[in-house]
Chains A and B, each alone.
Chain A
Amino acid sequence: MPSFLPSPSISSSPSLSLPSTPSSSCGPPQATTPPLGVINEGVAELSLVIDAEVAQRACQEVLQKVKLRQVDSDSTLSQSEEGPDAPPSDPEGPAPGSVKSARRRQRHNPSKQSWLLRLFESKLFDVSMAISYLHNSKEPGVQAYIGNRLFSFPHEEVDFYLPQLLNMYIHMDEDVGDAIKPYVVHRCRQSISFSLQCAWLLGAYSSDMHISTQRHSRGTKLRKLILSDELKPAGPRVRRDPLALTPFCPAAPPTVSPGPLGGDHSLSPTKRTHQRSKSDATVSISLSSNLKRTASNPKVETSQDEVTKLCRSFSSLYRPVRLAPQREFIKSLMGIGKRLATLPTKEQKTQRLISELSLLNHKLPARVWLPTSAFDHHVVRVPHTQAVVLNSKDKAPYLIYVEVLECENFETSSVPIRIPENRIRSTRSVENLPDCGMTPEQRAGSFSVVPNYDNDDEAWSVDDIGELQVELPETHTNSCDNISQFSVDSITSLESKEPVFIAAGDIRRRLSEQLAQAPTTFKRDPEDPSAVALKEPWEEKVRRIREGSPYGHLPTWRLLSVIVKCGDDLRQELLAFQVLRQLQSIWEQERVPLWIKPYKILVLSADSGMIEPVVNAVSLHQVKKQSQLSLLDYFLQEHGAPTTEAFLTAQRNFVQSCAGYSLICYLLQVKDRHNGNILLDAEGHIIHIDFGFILSSSPRNLGFETSAFKLTAEFVDVMGGPDGDMFNYYKMLMLQGLIAARKHMERVLQIVEIMQQGSQLPCFHGSSTMRALKERFHMSLTEEQLQLLIDQLVDGSMRSLTTKLYDGFQYLTNGIM
């Protein structure tokens, strides 16, 4: 048994906590935090200063207790005693039922917890269970243990439950808070983005408290601590690992300027922009300047050698900017939203948006990033003319596209150098395009096609329109028709002696063919500017924006998009996202081919945030308004005849997504399901957006939308009618989905339940929210009964008059078709 004892090394290095626990599932900490691994190790001293002592003491206490009990009941620690329904070492997997029953037993039978330790230390103990125990356990020791145990989980897995963790921190008692804090503080030290994420969430979830308590609440204090930028990575332990440290510790500015992970901007043109690179160095040093703290800590300073002293001299030169740029970036995006809301027309909003963004562009590139993105990057440019105002009655949500350069680590990689807007041509020099599919001869050939323009040897050189032809290989997609045009051009200019004849009919035919070839686009409508922007295929948009961007030639260039919401509370959206994610992974785990698309939500405060847009998707409203077709006809137009593979694939996608979202709508009681809130993507999936009315809340309580989910006749038509195979498939998918969801109900309930704590969100209105949610999983029904239930739900929804009524209502009030 001694091997179960937590190693005392917890105290010195939480990131290496519980090394002796057999939690092989969670790999070594270095692997989970690759970029900053070196620095992490040094964190120990500082987290110790904060709270780790308490946590550690508590943790040791509980484990001591547990150990004693284990010795007592050593002989009785057999499966027979635990009963068949909850064996902690159950090889079948951690059935949620087992957790539940385990907890039940824990409450009823607190003296017998020996199995608990085994559960905690088994490889089946995952974050979900940890969160659940943290929430439900009344035992400070258990809470403290779990608090420490958090260190051993991979970051991404814990990050998923960050809203839950922080909400518990804010609204639950001291013990839970104390258990969570060390972990949060530790992670904040490591990562700027985690820091900001925490600060935003803490602010948002504290907002429901009374203002007087809020000011002094734990959440507010922690938020202040984070935003004060005090939580920085502790000084690297020079003694322990001096070699690994060197890249972060600049000996002199020149060695830093390429950035520790250098080379990522080595392709960017440095002509004329050399002034910038100097300032760039300052920024890239900012991280090392954080070493100031270490230097000021006398205890650590003794262990520092000259390198640190050098660093200290740097930190006095450069003011550290850690959280500031990103906060300012977000603040300015929100400011734009606020100002847009005051403008009366869409057109004015759009114009203002474009002009505001063009001003924002002047501040870029900077050490800022989009938190909704999955990879590290720096924002380099906002293609302002591409931004659109979204449809909303009184708020002004808007969608922006953001050009970023992928980097290894946005905290340490150097910020890219600014390239002026019109420097598109100069950046597209030959050496930057090694694979543009054209040999030098061809290039020369294409050059000779441009014999025009007398030499203008003034300050600006011959290029512009003339050079466009040289750049043509860039535009791969329409290269074929370029070539045809090309040949005509070159014939005329090279062999002008021979008259070339062309048929007028050919010109006319080419015109209509090319117009027909172009993918169906929506007509520009000043009242609905987003329709056109959203209809354009994403790939196409990326290509187009890349071509027009001065950064487009860089290999790490990526395009992202984000919806900025100002004046909207996204906490419910975040809750819905989490539930959707959870269900998605449950269905994946259970191999049910239901399709849903959870889109990322960033809560910035109780009334602002950002949403990751669903690409290649337009709302059903826009589809209907622009195409003036029924949904089925639109499918036929977009995907082809009913027997084609393209159509069948699209139809299957439609059915699978319909089934997924029908279940979601039923389980979460998603309301306000008008056609503006349902998207259709290019592959035929539907995607529900806007989870503003879920669980206990519904819009204006008009009593509309009593059906379980939205299933209009049009939907059924796309599925091939109520008697078709696809429709049966739809119902079968729903049944399978519900059975799978039911099996892992706890994982879903837990997310909702924790967020209910201290929340004033309308979705938690009333006292029966959780009970009703639980009931919708129908734990007591047999599978046959469930099937019946599904049939009833589907029938009810199909026949539902209220859906139609609600659409009509929306059309009257909001003009949504």
Chain B
Amino acid sequence: MSQVEKKAGLLRRTSSSKKPLKEKVVLMYDEIFAKEDPAKNNPRFWDELFLMKVNLEYLESKLESVDGEDVQRIQDNINSLFHHCVQALGEEHQIKVVNALQTLCALFRGVHQKNKSASGFDIINMLMGFDKAEQRMKDLMERLDSLLCGDSSESLKSLCLKLLLCLVTVTDNISQNTILEYVMINSIFEAILQILSDASSRGQHGYDAVVLLALLVNYRKYESVNPYIVKLSIVDDEPTLDGMGMVVHQALTEYNRQYKDKEEENQGGFFSTLTSMVGSMFIADADEKLSVQTNEAILLALYEAVHLNRNFITVLAQSHPEIDIAATPTTTTPTTPTTPLGTTPPSLDMMSNPELPLDPNLQTSNLLITFLKYASIVMQDTKDEHRLNSARLCLIILTCIAEDQYADAFLHDDNMNFRVSLHRMPMRHRKKAVDKNIPSRPLVCAVLDLMVEFIVTHMMKDFPMDLYLRCVQIIHKLLCYQKKCRIRLHYTWRELWSALINLLKFLLSNETTLLAKHNIFHLALLVVNLFNMFITYGDTFLPTSNSYDELYYEIVRMHQVFDNLYCMVLRVSTNTGQWKEAASKVTHALVNVRAIINHFNPKIESYAAVNHISQLSEEQVLEVVRSNYDTLTLKLQDGLDQFERYSEQPKEAAFFKELVREREGGLF
């Protein structure tokens, strides 16, 4: 009988235009959705089922079409199907395993599609049956684990990961996916790590594994103890962490490359440069086209790794040439699945040093550089929701990095100099920076550049207040590190000062519109305190004595802004209102800036008067500043070098919940 059916199946494939004969597999599905136990008439029913090519569409549609009452009827059969799928995963026959994996995928999807509103428990009941669910899921996870860790074919492993991803993303909100409770209990964390630690498997499945991990970490992360969070936070095996970094690095590099390609496409040729010079009205359009889908899943993974695992910080600085990672010769890490990770004796594996490919044109890069480039692209345009979220996540990651001492150490390492070409928004009033001239500097300079760039390019009506706050806080954290460690960074601080002053100016001129939505005084306070850092602790981290003079010069030159700010905050703080408190803090913070202005302005004026000069040159002003320090007294302010540490909970919880929800919608 089965012979005939198979022929029919073959026939169908060859003559596809005719009205299809029902495939054998479809007939078998129909049997499952009948009341009877399909194995009753045919004891080999399940064996045969998994030999057939899966018809996903049919199976899913069948599941969706089941009505409420039918559910009860066929539940036994579906439970049975699930059970046999899990069992088939243990088969030696690869075809059976593949079919079982696909069938499971269809089962999860179909059942969820049908019962969107149903509680997780109903779904579990329908799939596995309450009483057996625990055992079924345990078996499933164990089988998947052994498939992933064993030496099964790569496509099979890939399918396993796809099934897991399917399971994880099957609900709109990951935390409502009750089945995941079983994935929490029966951890596949180790399997994921193993995939990441091996170069070849990482090349093929790294992306899926990293995304899966990021999603699992976000399952009910605030409500319960998520074992994946705990496990991820203590991983200290370097090859594995490196592997994770490589996957992220590669994904971000790919994004950067795509963006660059598009950009070049858009501005290719003399004509387009000309048009952009003539009328910048087209630039906006061009920008739209430039947007490449951002990669939030990978960014989320990077965040979780940086935030949860402090060993991962070293990976950020792990430099490797900017190359297609898949092309690297496979590391000869001995694949011994039985030994726990990291137990290979150091001298035995001495020197399986993966030879780096030789290409003189390659610039050595590392994850942090790639990330900074990526962030510079993403942060250019924060208008749409996705990009805004990506930019926010980038800034959160940078916040975590800026707080970590080890990260700070390599950010400021004078021996680790890199040329980081950040993307800068094309703007009318400035030319595009020429990439070639970027000096090789410690990485922190690139971070500061990125912050300055953000500050000057996002002063718009739809003010991204929280991004600004994060940005200023990142700068503050870096300054605190420099102050404590006495690091005198050779950075053009002037650019930062003028960017910050311009920001204050913007806040002042848009006071009314901004106040409707934001507490601008908080931001103003942070900015003024950055100046206070420079004023009071400049001796500990400024690179030259001249730079201290320049700071005063800049403040005095832009005194109008500070004066206006003072007037504004004084006005608000003397009135009663919701901003009274916040504004009065700013007035206090301004005390030194005002002292400087009040001290030097008359001196400069009298200098001009005495020497009969109407317009003093910069050098002359600096001279006045230099000779009048001694009569100026400053007030030491409290807690300038202290900051609030980043903590995800409770402040950021909502953001991450939202991000994950949205993420899953757009993932597949």
Q: Is the CB of B539 within 8 A of A504?
A: no
Asked if A485 and B540 make an inter-chain contact with CB atoms under 8 angstroms apart, the answer reads: yes
Contact with A along B634-656 (1 / 0, CB 8 A): 11111101111111110000000
Tell me if B183 counts as interface (CB < 8 A to partner A): no
A415/B636 contact (C-beta < 8 A), A452-B643, A548-B409 known: no
Alpha-carbon gap, A329 to B417, bound state (A): 26
- Is residue A62 contacting chain B, with contact meaning CB distance below 8 A? no
Q: A242-281 vs B: 1/0 string, CB under 8 Å?
A: 0000000000000000000000000000001001101110
Within 8 A of A (CB), among B307-364: 307-311, 313-314, 317-321, 340, 342-351, 353-356, 358, 360, 362-364
Partner among B317, B629, B645 whose Cβ is within 8 Å of the Cβ of A462: B645
CB-defined interface of B608-623 with A at 8 Å, one 1/0 digit per residue? 0000000000000000
Interface size of B by CB at 8 A reads 92
Q: When chains A and B are docked, how far (Å) is the Cα of A344 from the Cα of B362?
A: 11
The answer to whether B647 touches A363, judged by C-beta atoms less than 8 angstroms apart, is: no
Residues of chain A within 8 A of B354, CB atoms compared? 359
Q: Which residues of A contact B350 (CB under 8 A)?
A: 324-325, 328-329, 363, 366, 368
CB neighbours of B540 from chain A (8 A): 485
Decide if B233 touches A460 in the complex (CB within 8 Å): yes
List residues of B (481-497) whose CB comes within 8 Å of A's CBs.
Answer: 481, 484-486, 488
- Asked if residues A363 and B360 are in contact (CB atoms below 8 Å), the reply is no
Chain B residue with Cβ nearest A386: B415
- B410 in contact (CB, < 8 A): yes
Most-contacted residue by chain B among A329, A342, A452, A526 (CB, 10 A): A452
Contacts of B440 in A (CB 8 A): 347, 526
Selected interface stretch from A130-138, A465-473, A604-612, A788-796:
A465-473
Q: How far is the CB of A524 from chain B (nearest CB, A)?
A: 7
Q: Which of A451-501 contact B (CB under 8 A)?
A: 451-454, 456, 458-460, 462-465, 467-469, 478, 485, 488-489, 491-493, 496, 499-501
Say if the beta carbon of B238 comes within 8 Å of chain A.
yes
* B-side contacts of A429, CB under 8 Å: none
Does A503 touch B at the CB level, under 8 Å?
Answer: yes
Q: 8 Å CB contacts to A: which residues of B123-173? A: none
B329 to chain A, nearest CB (A): 13
Q: Given A275-B342, A508-B629, are A385 and B545 neighbors across the interface (CB < 8 Å)?
A: no
Q: A355-B319, A465-B480, A508-B548 are in contact. Are A279 and B536 (CB under 8 A)?
A: no
Indicate if the CB atoms of B351 and A465 lie closer than 8 Å: no
Residue of B nearest to A344 (CB): B360
Binds A, one of B382-390, B399-407, B518-526: B399-407
Q: A460 near B539 (CB under 8 angstroms)?
A: no
Contact A459–B238 (Cβ < 8 Å): no
Nearest to B409 among chain A residues (CB) is A548
**Known: A362-B239, A492-B637. Is A453-B644 also a contact (CB below 8 A)?**
yes
A555 located at the interface, meaning its Cβ lies under 8 Å from any Cβ of chain B in the complex: no
Q: Which of B308, B477, B634 contacts A460 (CB 8 A)?
A: B308
Q: Which of A355, A460, A512 contacts B364 (CB 8 A)?
A: A355
A-B pairs under 8 A by CB, number: 235
B596 to chain A, nearest CB (A): 8
Contacts of B658 in A (CB 8 A): none
In the complex, A501 Cα to B634 Cα: how many Å? 6
The answer to whether B236 and A272 have CB atoms under 8 Å apart is yes
Residue of A nearest to B419 (CB): A347
Q: Is B64 an interface residue (CB 8 A)?
A: no
Q: What are the residues of chain B within 8 A of A489 when measuring CB–CB?
A: 641
Q: Is B416 within 8 A of A385, CB to CB?
A: yes
Q: Are B645 and A453 in contact (CB under 8 A)?
A: yes
Q: Is the CB of B343 within 8 A of A468?
A: no
On chain B, the residues within 8 Å of A493 by CB distance are 638-639
Q: A344-B360, A488-B636 are known contacts. Are A458 and B647 too (CB-CB below 8 A)?
A: yes
Residues of chain B within 8 A (CB-CB) of A508 are: 539, 545, 548-549, 629
Inter-subunit contact B635/A468 (CB<8 Å): no
| 8 Å CB interface, A26-56 against B | none
Residue among A335, A339, A502 with max Cβ neighbours from chain B (10 Å): A502
Question: Which residue of the partner chain A has the closest CB to B352?
Answer: A363
Q: Across the interface, do A352 and B364 meet the contact criterion of CB distance under 8 Å?
A: yes
> Are B414 and A421 touching (Cβ within 8 A)?
no
A491 to B354, CA, bound (A): 54
B364→A354 contact, CB < 8 A: yes
Known: A493-B638, A502-B634, A511-B539. A524 touches B414 (CB 8 A): yes
Name the CB-closest residue of A to B233.
Answer: A459
Q: Does B632 have its Cβ within 8 Å of any Cβ on chain A?
A: yes
Residue ID in chain B nearest A514 by CB atoms: B539
Return B629 CB to nearest CB of chain A, in Å: 4
A422 interface hit (Cβ, 8 Å): yes
Residues in A whose Cβ lies below 8 Å from that of B416: 354, 385
Per a CB cutoff under 8 Å, which of B234, B351, B542 touches A331? B351
Asked if A418 is an interface residue, CB under 8 A from chain B, the answer is yes
Q: Is A677 an interface residue (CB 8 A)?
A: no
Which residues of B (217-263) have their CB < 8 Å from a CB of A? 229-230, 233-234, 236, 238-239
A14 interface residue per 8 A CB criterion: no
- Chain A contacts of B642 at CB under 8 A? 451-453
Selected from B343, B346, B405, the residue in CB contact (under 8 A) with A366 is: B346
List residues of chain A with CB within 8 A of the CB of B307. Answer: 460
Min CB distance, A323 to chain B, in Å?
11
Contact residues in A for B363 (Cβ distance below 8 Å): 348, 351
**Which chain A residues in 490-541 approach chain B with CB under 8 Å?**
491-493, 496, 499-505, 507-508, 510-512, 514-515, 524, 526, 533
A283 touching B632 in the complex, CB below 8 Å, given contacts A458-B648, A508-B545: no
Residues of B within 8 A of A563 (CB): none
Please state if B542 and A511 are interface contacts (CB–CB under 8 Å).
Answer: yes
Say if the beta carbon of A282 comes within 8 Å of chain B: yes
CB distance from B227 to the nearest CB of A (A): 12
Q: A385-B415, A459-B229, A499-B635 are in contact. Are A511 and B545 (CB under 8 A)?
A: yes
A348 touches B360 (CB 8 A): yes
Complex contact B538–A283 (CB within 8 A): no
Are A321 and B644 touching (Cβ within 8 A)?
A: no
Given contacts A275-B340, A354-B319, A467-B405, contact A332 B351 (CB under 8 A): yes
Among B347, B409, B477, B488, residue most surrounded by chain A Cβ atoms (within 10 Å)? B347
Interface residue A129 (Cβ < 8 Å from any Cβ of B): no
Q: B413 at the A/B interface (Cβ < 8 Å)?
A: yes
One digit per residue, 1 when the CB lies within 8 angstroms of any chain B CB and 0 when it does not, for chain A 399-430 equals 00000000000000001001011101100000
Q: Which residues from A are CB-within-8-Å of B366?
A: 355
Check: A367 CB closer than 8 A to any chain B CB: yes
What's the Cα separation between A343 and B358 when bound, in Å? 8
Establish whether residues A463 and B351, one from each chain, have CB atoms under 8 Å apart when the complex forms.
Answer: no
Tell me the nearest residue of chain B to A417, going by C-beta.
Answer: B346
Is there contact, CB below 8 Å, between B356 and A492?
no
Do A328 and B351 touch across chains, with their CB atoms under 8 A apart? yes
Check if A464 sits within 8 Å of B539, measured CB to CB: no
Which residues of chain B are within 8 angstroms of A459 by Cβ–Cβ distance?
A: 229-230, 233, 308-309
Contacting residue for A458 out of B347, B406, B413, B649, CB 8 A: B649
B308 adjacent to A339 (CB under 8 Å): no
Whether B190 sits at the interface, judged by CB under 8 Å, is no
With both chains docked as a complex, state the minimum distance between the C-beta of B533 and any C-beta of chain A, in angstroms.
12
Chain A residues closer than 8 Å to B415, beta-carbon distance = 354, 385-386, 388, 533
Q: A415 and B347 in contact (CB under 8 A), knowing A460-B308, A460-B310?
A: yes
A-B contact pairs, 10 of them (CB 8 A): A348-B360, A351-B418, A354-B415, A359-B354, A453-B643, A453-B644, A460-B308, A478-B486, A505-B630, A505-B632
Can you list the 6 inter-chain pairs with the closest CB atoms, starting with the nearest?
A328-B351, A452-B642, A279-B345, A459-B233, A351-B364, A355-B319
List 6 other contacts, CB 8 Å, given A339-B355, A358-B317.
A335-B353, A347-B440, A354-B415, A454-B647, A458-B648, A548-B409
User: A-contacting residues of B (Cβ < 8 Å)?
Assistant: 229-230, 233-234, 236, 238-239, 307-311, 313-314, 317-321, 340, 342-351, 353-356, 358, 360, 362-364, 366, 403-406, 408-410, 413-418, 440, 477, 480-481, 484-486, 488, 535-536, 538-540, 542, 544-545, 548-549, 596, 629-639, 641-649
